[in-house]
Amino acid sequence: MNYEYKKILTIQDISCVGQCSLTVALPILSACGMETAILPSAVLSTHTAGFSGFTFRDLTDDMPAIIEHWRREKISFDCIYTGYLGSIKQVGYVKDILDTMGKEGSVRVVDPAFADNGKLYPIFNDEYVAAMRTLLPSSDILVPNISEACFLSGMEYKESYDEAYIDGLLSALVKLGASTVVLTGVGYEPNMTGVVVYENGKKSYYPHRRIAKGCHGTGDVYASAFTGALLRGHSAYDAAKIAADYTVICIENTQGDADHWYGVKFETALPELIKML
């Protein structure tokens, strides 16, 4: 083993079926060679996009006792990576974890996971967005899509934009306290998308092919692969590139299977991710 074995905590929900959130994060981070601890924010029978009648159990009230037990056991983490959080109260608990439970030199990655296509997910509102803004100063790396960046910054969402618009989003997020921003889904041409990494005042762009048919859960796949690559010692830009290439392969491996509409076959591409690392 020629890399440093590290302990990651990821905080997000468990959708038992649907290939998103913790059911994606845990195997991807483990494949990256990291010990992965979890703090579930909720348990759902399936994710909420396309399924009906799903079950939902909110775990907000369980979180304080879990956190307190970890503190008694003096457990801390090399990386804390947050995804979908189900309530404003959970955001408060997560801020406390980000501020107090990292080891010296730990990395804190925040994926806002509350909006897409210019719209908030149905359970969220402006009050939730305001709460999420409080996490930015407690993060080292923010991984939003353009919709989330717009809600956090207060800028208007646009389907068509130029580089100056993206620069404005990045600048606004940094002013709110984000140290490094990895902005996903940035495309200046019809058949291309990509990732912009803004770090230490420097902006880098990695473009890649856009696959027209989107898939549920790819944001979680991306953020998990990014975090795993980062912890393996890659720079933020290289980790962003690896995660983008991996996510594209996951989507490609799912194309043509009409029965697999609820997520991507990320497992089939894990050998490719390991090679990239």
Domain edges within the chain = 7-276
What does the pLDDT read at residue 209?
A: 80
pLDDT(182) > 70: yes
Task: Give the CA-trace dihedral at 56, 114, 80, 132, to 10 degrees.
Answer: -110
Tell me the mean pLDDT in the region 7-32: 96
Domain 7-276 has CATH 3.40.50.2000: no
What does the pLDDT read at residue 48?
A: 82
> What does the block give as tokens for 73?
């056991």
Burial class (CB in 10 A: 0-12, 13-18, 19+), 10: buried
What does the pLDDT read at residue 192?
A: 87
pLDDT(255) > 70: yes
Tell me the mean pLDDT in the region 87-93: 96
How does the average pLDDT of the chain come out, rounded?
A: 95
pLDDT digits (tens, 9 = 90+) for 42-82: 999 998 888 889 898 999 999 999 999 999 999 999 999 99
Can you name the residues that pair with 209 across neighbouring β-strands?
192
Amino acid at 241: K
What does the pLDDT read at residue 117?
A: 92
pLDDT digits (tens, 9 = 90+) for 203-240: 999 998 887 666 788 999 999 999 999 999 999 999 99
Share of the chain above pLDDT 70, in %: 98
Cβ atoms of 176 and 136 closer than 8 Å: yes
- Between 16 and 209, name the one with better pLDDT: 16
